[in-house]
């Protein structure tokens, strides 16, 4: 494609918009010079992704719904980080949060605070400049990064560092590379950073080792020892290509880049587009999902206005986070159905008293975000189906004395274990039922307690002896095992060992952990499946449970979720961000894997497209069933 030319009217509109913005900024500075200087200073140090989205709309849209964009926005992460700080009397420091908001830690923000009050770029988590403002090659240092500071016009870093196309765009688009000049500002140069398209770049954050030697996350280490690494496949090939979790062409194919990656213009300014090139996907699809309202996530260019700019008519964003928390999108605000039927005396918060504002909020922010969440949901299912494979059910025994069967669960990738990363809070399990001819359940494993937890040792209902332990549960969730100062080991939700000391703190090891292979205070019982590996789930139904109404049918579903509800119970005492209660977070977490009657659900059997019925929450990745032609002897 030949570079287009920005039209006269379009350029004039851009210039007029820039002039209006400059005038508003001058007025604001005159009214409150200290606050204005602070905001300008912060923006000059670390530009927000919203500044990048104007020229890179495709990349911004993908990133806005990604796990990287959600990394710091997550109220679950923020509370868990706060609880660990509390348990260690603050001695854990920025260890967790520096991976989730490198900008915030570069700004020396408090380790634990509300995201509402963080700087905009800090709130964006793994934002654009976290990757594209690095110029040093780091190793596995658990996310301690020195981001290159500077305003928007300063150079950015890419895998090739060829500025020729950028210079053409600047010239033909009339763009500005001087921060003191009016107009649409862009970065004036692009420099090469060779590590950016290597797997080692991902390993900076995706291999996490605590200061006491405890290996919390090992995604990169698993990859380095995998067949994929040996074949020359990178993390980016699987996770930034056309399909999440796999390469769609052989790595040795001479057209690999063209077949495996999307191609198109990297930037667009008005009608001006750069020439097509290889495009990496910045959606970074993962197994997690948002528990926030769609007014706050995905991050929308038109959505969030900072508290300091809430009364500025020229400010970016429609409403502050606190305003958005008052917007009742579930009630249908801004839709014809609600607005035509709402009582005349319906009371709205001051920010949303205008019907025009409510319509704009729904049409410009909420509706596009809901559509994007649906798109991400479908991509997440693709990722899970690429990562996990479920074999056919094999009958071992089926007679009046009972039924025995087994099923194979395989790792569908050759790049790392599944699950990987924070696998001690990652839910992947088999939900298995056996029913008689009348549909009565005679056996069940992998079902959920009333809180939405599996019936394992972390279930409150199992702990209180209100429900039995699921002794045939097949789960790939790893477990933290901690060692007490006195006594033996025990399984815990968080990897902070129980201490009888009145002054608990994160204790440095007194002996080199390499000598005995693990830290003394805690270890992890890994339950995942190695690359190309398999696990066998075996089930046994005693003959006494067979009702005599055969034949029987077994249904095995491989399910995947985000984090268990028992984690929320463990961290709730420090509070959840955005004024969310523990109950609300839990409801949003489990929403979708139960139906309207509260029963576990897979997908709508009446739908022609089951993907359309998969909702946030635990997803059924695969399902198998088999029939046993026995009747049993039970009355």
CATH code: domain of residue 572: 2.60.40.10
Same domain, 391 and 444: yes
Same domain, 423 and 546: yes
- Tell me the average pLDDT of the chain: 85
d(C-alpha 263, C-alpha 519), whole Å: 47
Q: Is the whole model's pTM more than 0.85, yes or no?
A: yes
Which has the closest alpha carbon to 285: 97, 65, 571?
A: 65
Task: Return the pLDDT at 102.
Answer: 95
Give the best-scoring range by mean pLDDT among 127-141, 250-264, 537-551, 599-613: 250-264
Same domain, 323 and 425: no
pLDDT tens-digit profile of 370-405?
Answer: 889 889 988 998 999 999 999 999 999 999 899 999
Name every residue whose Cβ is closer than 8 Å to that of residue 123 and which is 6 or more positions away in sequence: 72, 73, 101, 104, 115
Q: What number is the average pLDDT over the span 19-35?
A: 49
Give the least confident one: 9-13, 143-147, 247-251, 619-623: 9-13
According to DSSP, the residues that pair with 185 across neighbouring strands are: 176
Same domain, 444 and 521: no
Is the predicted pLDDT of residue 506 greater than 70, yes or no?
A: no
Whether omega for the bond prior to residue 427 falls within 30 degrees of 0, making it cis, is: no
The full DSSP string for 388-445 is EEEEEEEEEEEETTEEEEEEEEEE--SSS-BS-SSGGG--EEEEEEEE-TT--EEEEE
The full DSSP string for 541-586 is EEGGG--S---EEEEEEEEE-S--HHHHHHHGGG--STT--HHHHH
Of the pLDDT bands very low, low, confident and very high (cuts 50, 70, 90), residue 496 is confident
Task: Return the pLDDT at 616.
Answer: 47
Same domain, 431 and 537: yes
Task: Return the pLDDT at 309.
Answer: 85
Same domain, 337 and 448: no
From 353, 379, 405, the end of a domain falls on: 379
d(C-alpha 539, C-alpha 395), whole Å: 10
d(C-alpha 557, C-alpha 446), whole Å: 9
Q: C-alpha distances in angstroms, 435 versus 7, 390, 546, 602?
A: 68, 20, 9, 16
Task: Return the pLDDT at 390.
Answer: 93
d(C-alpha 518, C-alpha 480), whole Å: 13
Instruction: Considering only residues 598 and 539, tell me which one the structure prediction assigns the higher pLDDT.
Output: 539
From 342, 363, 379, the end of a domain falls on: 379
Contact (CB, 8 A) for 603 and 620: yes
Same domain, 563 and 519: no
d(C-alpha 19, C-alpha 12), whole Å: 10
Task: Return the pLDDT at 502.
Answer: 53
Same domain, 400 and 453: yes
Same domain, 153 and 251: yes
Task: Return the pLDDT at 587.
Answer: 83
Give the least confident one: 8-12, 65-69, 130-134, 174-178: 8-12
Which has the closest alpha carbon to 52: 151, 148, 146?
A: 151
Same domain, 492 and 422: no
Is the predicted pLDDT of residue 605 greater than 50, yes or no?
A: no
pLDDT tens-digit profile of 408-455?
Answer: 999 999 999 999 999 999 999 999 999 999 999 999 999 999 888 999
Same domain, 499 and 420: no
Whether omega for the bond prior to residue 513 falls within 30 degrees of 0, making it cis, is: no
pLDDT tens-digit profile of 299-314?
Answer: 999 999 988 888 888 7
Same domain, 574 and 512: no
Q: Residue 61 is encoded by which pair of tokens?
A: 């849209």
Residue 485's domain comprises 479-525
d(C-alpha 113, C-alpha 575), whole Å: 11
Report how many domains make up the chain: 4
Is the predicted pLDDT of residue 222 greater than 80, yes or no?
A: yes
Q: Residue 591 is encoded by which pair of tokens?
A: 């929403």
């Amino acid at each position: 494609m030949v570079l287009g030319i920005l039209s006269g009217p379009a350029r004039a509109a851009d210039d007029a918009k820039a002039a209006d913005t400059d005038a508003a900024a001058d007025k604001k500075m005159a009214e409150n010079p200290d606050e204005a200087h602070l905001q300008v200073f912060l923006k000059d140090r670390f530009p927000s992704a919203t500044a990048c989205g104007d020229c890179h709309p495709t990349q911004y849209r993908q990133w806005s719904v990604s796990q990287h964009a959600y990394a710091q926005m997550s109220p679950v992460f923020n509370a868990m980080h706060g609880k660990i700080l509390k348990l260690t009397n603050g001695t854990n420091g920025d260890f967790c949060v520096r991976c989730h908001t490198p900008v915030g830690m570069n700004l020396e923000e408090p380790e634990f605070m509300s995201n509402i009050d963080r700087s905009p770029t800090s709130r964006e988590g793994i934002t654009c400049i976290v990757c594209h403002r690095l110029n040093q090659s780091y190793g596995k240092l658990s996310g301690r990064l020195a981001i290159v500071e500077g305003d928007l016009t300063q150079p950015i870093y890419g895998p090739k560092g060829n500025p020729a196309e950028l210079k053409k765009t600047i010239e033909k688009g009339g763009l500005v590379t001087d921060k003191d000049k009016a107009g649409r500002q862009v970065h004036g140069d692009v420099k090469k950073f060779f590590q950016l398209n290597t797997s080692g770049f991902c390993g900076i954050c995706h291999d996490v080792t605590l200061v006491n030697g405890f290996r919390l996350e090992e995604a990169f280490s698993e990859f380095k020892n995998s067949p994929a690494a040996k074949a020359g496949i990178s993390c980016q090939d699987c996770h930034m290509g056309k399909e999440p979790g796999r390469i769609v062409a052989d790595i040795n194919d001479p057209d690999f880049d063209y077949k495996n990656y999307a191609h198109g213009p990297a930037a667009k300014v008005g009608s001006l587009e750069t020439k097509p090139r290889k495009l990496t996907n910045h959606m970074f699809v993962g197994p997690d999902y948002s528990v926030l309202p769609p007014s706050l996530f995905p991050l929308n260019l038109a959505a969030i206005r900072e508290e300091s700019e809430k009364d500025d008519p020229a400010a970016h964003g429609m409403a502050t986070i606190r305003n958005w928390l008052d917007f009742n999108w579930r009630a249908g605000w801004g839709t014809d159905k609600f607005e035509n039927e709402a009582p005349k005396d319906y009371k709205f918060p001051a920010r949303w008293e205008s019907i025009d504002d409510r319509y704009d909020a729904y049409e410009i922010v909420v509706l596009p975000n809901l559509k994007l969440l649906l798109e991400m949901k479908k991509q997440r299912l693709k990722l899970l189906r690429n990562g996990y494979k479920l074999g056919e059910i094999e009958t071992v025994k089926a007679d009046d004395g009972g039924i025995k069967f087994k099923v194979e669960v395989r790792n569908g990738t050759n790049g790392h274990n599944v699950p990987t990363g924070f696998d001690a809070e990652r839910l992947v399990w088999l939900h298995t039922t056996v029913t008689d001819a009348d549909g009565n359940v005679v056996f069940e494993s992998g079902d959920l307690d009333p809180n939405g937890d599996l019936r394992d040792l972390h279930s409150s209902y199992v702990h209180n002896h209100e429900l039995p332990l699921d002794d045939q549960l097949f789960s790939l969730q790893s477990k933290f095992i901690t060692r007490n100062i006195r006594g033996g080991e025990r399984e815990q939700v968080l990897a902070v060992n129980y201490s009888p000391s009145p002054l608990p703190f994160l204790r440095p090891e007194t002996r080199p952990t390499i000598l005995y292979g693990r830290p003394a205070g805690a270890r992890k019982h890994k339950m995942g499946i190695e690359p190309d590996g398999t696990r066998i789930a075996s089930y046994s139904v005693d003959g006494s449970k067979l009702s005599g109404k055969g034949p029987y049918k077994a249904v095995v579903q491989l399910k995947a979720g985000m984090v268990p509800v028992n984690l929320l119970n463990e961290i709730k005492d420090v509070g959840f961000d955005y004024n969310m209660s523990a109950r609300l977070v839990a409801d949003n977490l489990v929403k979708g894997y139960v139906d309207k009657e509260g029963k576990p659900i897979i997908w709508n059997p009446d739908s022609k497209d089951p993907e359309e019925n998969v909702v946030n929450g635990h997803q059924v990745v695969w399902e198998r069933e088999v029939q046993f032609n026995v009747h049993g002897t039970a009355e």
